[in-house]
Amino acid sequence: MRIITRCALVQFTLLGILLLAAGAAWPQGEWPSLFRYTVALSTDETARYQTSASLSGPVSEESSLKIEGWWIGGRGENRAFVGDAYLDYDRQRVYLAAGRKYVPFGPAGLLVSPGFFGGEVQLRSERVTLQAISGSLQFTPGTGTTRFTYAGSRAPADEDFTAGRIALVLTEPAAEVPVTVGLNGIDILDDRGSSADISIEATRWLTLYGEAAGYGDGDAHIYGIWLSDMKMRSDGRGTIVVWYHRKLDVGFVPAAVGASAYFEGQTGWAGGLYHQFNSRRALGVFADGEETIVTLFGTVPL
């Protein structure tokens, strides 16, 4: 029988508090208010068809609920379905969430980007953000960090973990080139890993980012650029281009067990293009030398 660990009490206590708060305020909400879906084709025969759908919306003035699922099918017996469902509470300085959720730490999420069941807490000030998550690994998300498409088929290890992050904005709030650095840590499999990341908003349309991580004898790094004209438009249209290099050692535990959305042994360049035609339709393309994926994104207000 699985032993309930130290994080279980925190998970269910937080979930209970949020459910009670949302239930009391449910008549004020308008859930669901938004339906989103994706339809994708991949050159990988084992994951040829990829779809997702989600319902989301407010359940009170400060709480929202999201339910989402991804279905992937391909050659042979490969079939995968994963989903998340979580309730959150968001105020100016505090953010709480409980349920099944995908949470990346930092701009890349190299060390920490799990699909997990548990709880999340954020404490925010003008220049410092403290973030912590605790729970059990459950799924690899269909869309993930710096990617616009399915992240791959994997059944994560059923392991409990705890992870924390501190992010510090080094520049003044009105700085022309904002710089944010972060320190991340994870405790899993009776061992600990850590990483440091940085994000530099060089211009309104160009962001440079990177992360270096270590866990035991395994190391990993990622660095890349993020180009976007979204901040310069107000017509519901825009384009994002991501180009990055990643290298993960074989044996890099967070990737091996599913605490990271990346995969152990991944190396080389990868990139993506996302174009939003209007507020309801978008198209994404991802390629990494092994596969190419084309994804249609749709949004339907309810």
pLDDT digits (tens, 9 = 90+) for 240-280: 999 999 999 998 999 888 898 888 888 999 998 999 999 89
In this predicted model, what pLDDT tens digit does every residue of 98-154 receive, in sequence order?
999 989 999 999 999 988 999 999 999 999 999 999 999 887 766 544 444 444 555
Residue 299 near residue 280, CB atoms below 8 Å: yes
The burial of 129, by beta-carbon neighbours within 10 Å (0-12 exposed, 13-18 middle, 19 or more buried), is given as: middle
Q: Residue 280: name the closest of 226, 242, 246, 235 by CA.
A: 235
- Measure CA of the first residue to CA of the last residue in the chain; give whole Å: 44
Within-domain flag for 149: yes
| Number of C-beta neighbours around residue 21 at 10 A | 17
Within-domain flag for 56: yes
pLDDT of residue 234: 83
pLDDT of residue 78: 52
Within-domain flag for 209: yes
CATH of the domain at 217: 2.40.160
Residue 17, by phi and psi: left (phi above 0), alpha (psi -120 to 50) or beta?
Answer: alpha
Within-domain flag for 1: no
* H or E element, residue 269: strand 267-276
Q: What is the DSSP letter of 101?
A: E
* H or E element, residue 44: none
Q: What is the DSSP letter of 290?
A: S
Q: Which residues contact 81 (CB under 8 A, 6 or more apart)?
A: 69, 70, 71, 72
Query: What total of structural domains would you count in the chain?
Result: 1
Within-domain flag for 96: yes
Within-domain flag for 78: yes
The per-residue DSSP string of 103-160 comes to ---TTT-SS---EEEEEEEEEE-SSEEEEEEEEEEEE--SS-TT-SS----------E
Phi, psi at 261, each rounded to 5°: -75, -10
How high is the mean pLDDT of the chain? Answer: 84
pTM of the full structure: 0.84
In this predicted model, what pLDDT tens digit does every residue of 13-57 receive, in sequence order?
545 555 555 555 454 557 889 999 989 888 878 778 888 888 999
Structural domain of 286 = 6-21+31-301
Within-domain flag for 26: no
